[in-house]
Structure 1
Amino acid sequence: MIASYDSAELRRPEDREAEDFVQLKEVLRKALLLPYCATAMRDECPDLVDNREVLAALPVTRKSDLVQIQKSSRPFGGMLNHAPAIASHLFVSPGPVFEPEIDRPDPWNGARALFAAGFRSGDVVLNTFSYHLTPGGFLFDTSARALGCSVIPAGPGNVETQLDLIEGYRPVGFFGTPDFLKILIEAAATKGRDISSIKRAAVSGAAFPPSLRTYVESRGIDAYQVYATADVGVIAYETSAREGMIVNEHLIVEIVWPGTGNPVPAGEIGEIVVTSLDWRRPLIRLALGDLTAAMHGPSPCGRTNMRIKGWLGRSDESTKVKGMFVRPEQIVEIGRRHQEIQRMRL
């Protein structure tokens, strides 16, 4: 028996699929009480959505459209049950897109991913994701504390202070972007600082190419990728098998032809569409704009959920800068405000 966070990770795939669609029916019933869903899915019957083929016929909500959807009904566009009373924190991501943190244990469903990366109760971890307005810092903070870890809320930047914190607290773990982990490693080497206590890392928000992974591992740090978004939380994560990423529990992930919502053949590259089984924030077929492909068969690690190849690019023109999305319409708005800018390119 593998060391798993919970028994849900080890369910037979057919049992998971059946249980997820039973839960989805209840989520859809509550979603249809919300203004946005009542309009977008007004002709749908929740009791009929009992498999992926029927689910694929439901309309897609594009992540890139959330700005306009929310403008029509502040703050969450009529997409949240009991808003904002059920939220413990209220964030805003670039766009702006308003994001709630649901008030419950492990609100971003990240503890399972951190467990797979080797984090355990009692670990001290350095969290370098931002705690300012966007949810990245809180996502990893609450996930780690759900495991029983102690978190140093460092945030990004301030390399000298980060090195002081590492030498003072001797954390065994690091949370942050792969690039910032490299910056800390290089700064420690240049300045003769000791960061040897860090043995594990959960990285997200940017590409983690094999060359950078090899560099990090050569410094004695075992790093795992976590795929997460501000709207859904943790979607998929690496395990010790190092063969793709395991889709998180309580999500239904589809891979579709970009812009269509129609599923691609097994193994083909397509856009990630996620349905969350949390009735408090029922995200139904949210198209993220990220590309990936499903992998065949279960993971050698023993976890039985769907595997994906990780992040393979974007299906639209947005890009990430230090873990934050920048969209074409934002660049246009900058040009409108600053007439002295003659040329712009994203």
Structure 2
Amino acid sequence: MSRFFDDLETRSADERAAALATALPGQIARAQALSGYGDSLKDVDAGAIKSVADLAALPVLRKSDLSRAQGGDYPFGGLTTKPASGFAHIFQSPGPIYEPGGTDHDWWRMGRFLHACGIGTGDIVQNCFGYHLTPAGMIFENGARAVGAAVLPAGTGQTELQARAAHDVGVTAYAGTPDYLKIILDKAEAMGLKLDITKAAVGGGALFPSLRQEYKDRGIACMQCYATADLGNVAYESEAMEGMIIDEGVIVEIVRPGTGDPVAPGEVGEVVVTTLNPDYPLIRFATGDLSAVMAGDSPCGRTNIRIKGWMGRADQTTKIKGMFVRPEQVAQLVAKHDEIVKARVIAGRDGEMDVMTVQIETQAQDPDAYASSVVDLLKLKGKIQLVAPGSLPNDGKVIEDQRTYD
């Protein structure tokens, strides 16, 4: 296996800037032709947008903008260059928000990350990301095909069967959320099954240092990426384990939360991404995630800029067990039951696992009465705590992340 996925990873700053000056005007022009952008890009001279600095003059596109656009023009809100029937897949994320998907070579740009993990021809990847409605399963499957690896499309759940399959087919690599691999490993150990997994490509949640070390102690090199359903892969770790390297198919800016203004190098801000995917040209898409640019190049030899990784949320939207929980979903829970005064979702940890607690202000006495609503609206199971009206903090928060990342 060659050290790098392709020559793009080792370009000089001048080479990368020259390529961007050629690609970016065309991408802006594609976006201008789409009804979903309305008048927001109408007066922009696409030919003059040739650098990251030039992008700062353009408006930021937010998830709420996608939701509004899609509400009037299903399924993609007039933001794709092809009709829905022209894509290989159509996905649905909470909201609902719909995302297109392709099966062209490395359409989601996940192959670059899997290659950095050492995954390639001869490997069998147990893909434990979901294949149902949400795109994560297909994102990693597409990446595995790009590097020549075989895939066991395991999805989520049925851990005993997962452990058995990993043993029987000789799985060598895992793809999924960081904590689920431990569940499979522990189950296999309890069943007396020897597994051959030595590589893990994870995302969709925080990879805590203690968990990474546990995998290392078990002979597994675990690296993480930063990807979204809308953008595909944005940044990824390499063997250097120093920050996350920006993917070659996107442009990343770090801006002051709530604005589109770039922050000083090294300052923490919101991650804003422009994708060069011609099928789905998202321009200055605000992820709601916080990060910061790192100085210098990665010791691994890849030369694109690096970010420090996920450093929290610019808004209250929080990822729990690999799924985003949004304030509007909590509001829907309150609205569904007249007796609920207020609700608050708390993201926590139990050992190496994410846990969700839903605190509900109500005079009702039966937590189970709300269990189905929580699953239907928040898309996750969680512990439900009923508290007296007026007892939750008056701080405007509906989602609180109590997890620590050090």
Other-structure match for 1:9: 9
Alignment of 1:68-147 (within 5 A): 68-147=68-147
- Look up the SS of the partner of 2:343 in the other structure: coil
Fraction of identical pairs, as percent: 47
- Look up the SS of the partner of 2:75 in the other structure: coil
CA distance in 1, matches of 2:52, 2:138: 32
Give the superposition deviation at 1:167: 1.1
Structure ranking higher on relative contact order (CA contacts 8 Å, 6+ apart) = 1
Alignment of 1:185-196 (within 5 A): 185-195=185-195
Other-structure match for 1:231: 230
- Look up the SS of the partner of 1:280 in the other structure: coil
Alignment of 1:144-293 (within 5 A): 144-195=144-195, 197-293=196-292
From the CA coordinates, give the structure whose radius of gyration is larger. 2
- Look up the SS of the partner of 1:330 in the other structure: helix
- Look up the SS of the partner of 1:178 in the other structure: coil
Give the superposition deviation at 1:335: 1.9
CA distance in 1, matches of 2:269, 2:85: 36
Q: Deviations over 1:76-134 (max 9, x none)?
A: 11101122133100100011110000352221111011000110112111000000000
CA distance in 1, matches of 2:192, 2:103: 43
- Aligned length, in residue pairs: 345
Alpha-carbon contact 1:20-1:277 (below 8 Å) kept: no
Alpha-carbon contact 2:167-2:194 (below 8 Å) kept: yes
- Look up the SS of the partner of 1:113 in the other structure: helix
Does 2:39 correspond to 1:44? no
Other-structure match for 2:26: 26
Alpha-carbon contact 2:21-2:51 (below 8 Å) kept: yes
Alpha-carbon contact 1:203-1:225 (below 8 Å) kept: yes
C-alpha distance 202-103 of structure 1, shift in aligned 2 (>3 A) = closer
Q: Deviations over 1:260-298 (max 9, x none)?
A: 111110011111000011222110000000011100011
Alpha-carbon contact 1:253-1:274 (below 8 Å) kept: yes
- Look up the SS of the partner of 2:20 in the other structure: helix
Alpha-carbon contact 2:160-2:188 (below 8 Å) kept: no
Report the residue type matching 1:200 in the other structure. Answer: K
Alpha-carbon contact 1:109-1:233 (below 8 Å) kept: yes
Other-structure match for 1:61: 61
Other-structure match for 1:328: 327
- Look up the SS of the partner of 2:68 in the other structure: helix
For the aligned residues, what is the CA RMSD?
Answer: 1.4
Unaligned runs of 5+ in 1: none
Task: State TM-score, norm by structure 2.
Answer: 0.83
Report the residue type matching 2:202 in the other structure. Answer: V
Other-structure match for 2:349: none
CA distance in 2, matches of 1:215, 1:340: 45
Alpha-carbon contact 1:20-1:250 (below 8 Å) kept: no
CA distance in 2, matches of 1:18, 1:308: 22
Alpha-carbon contact 2:159-2:184 (below 8 Å) kept: yes
Report the residue type matching 1:306 in the other structure. Answer: I
Q: Deviations over 1:47-95 (max 9, x none)?
A: 1112222210100001243222211221111101122133100100011
Q: Deviations over 1:171-229 (max 9, x none)?
A: 1100011110121122223332222x000000100101111111111111100101110
CA distance in 2, matches of 1:184, 1:64: 36
CA distance in 2, matches of 1:21, 1:339: 55
Task: State TM-score, norm by structure 1.
Answer: 0.97
CA distance in 2, matches of 1:14, 1:338: 58
Give the superposition deviation at 1:334: 1.9
Unaligned runs of 5+ in 2: 346-406
Q: Which runs of 4+ in 1 moved over 6 A?
A: none
Report the residue type matching 2:46 in the other structure. Answer: P
CA distance in 1, matches of 2:57, 2:278: 20
CA distance in 2, matches of 1:217, 1:53: 40
Q: Deviations over 1:17-41 (max 9, x none)?
A: 2211310101111211101224221
Other-structure match for 2:314: 315
- Look up the SS of the partner of 1:41 in the other structure: coil
Alpha-carbon contact 2:163-2:185 (below 8 Å) kept: no
Give the superposition deviation at 1:156: 0.8
Report the residue type matching 1:3 in the other structure. Answer: R
Report the residue type matching 1:212 in the other structure. Answer: L
- Look up the SS of the partner of 1:344 in the other structure: strand
Report the residue type matching 1:207 in the other structure. Answer: A
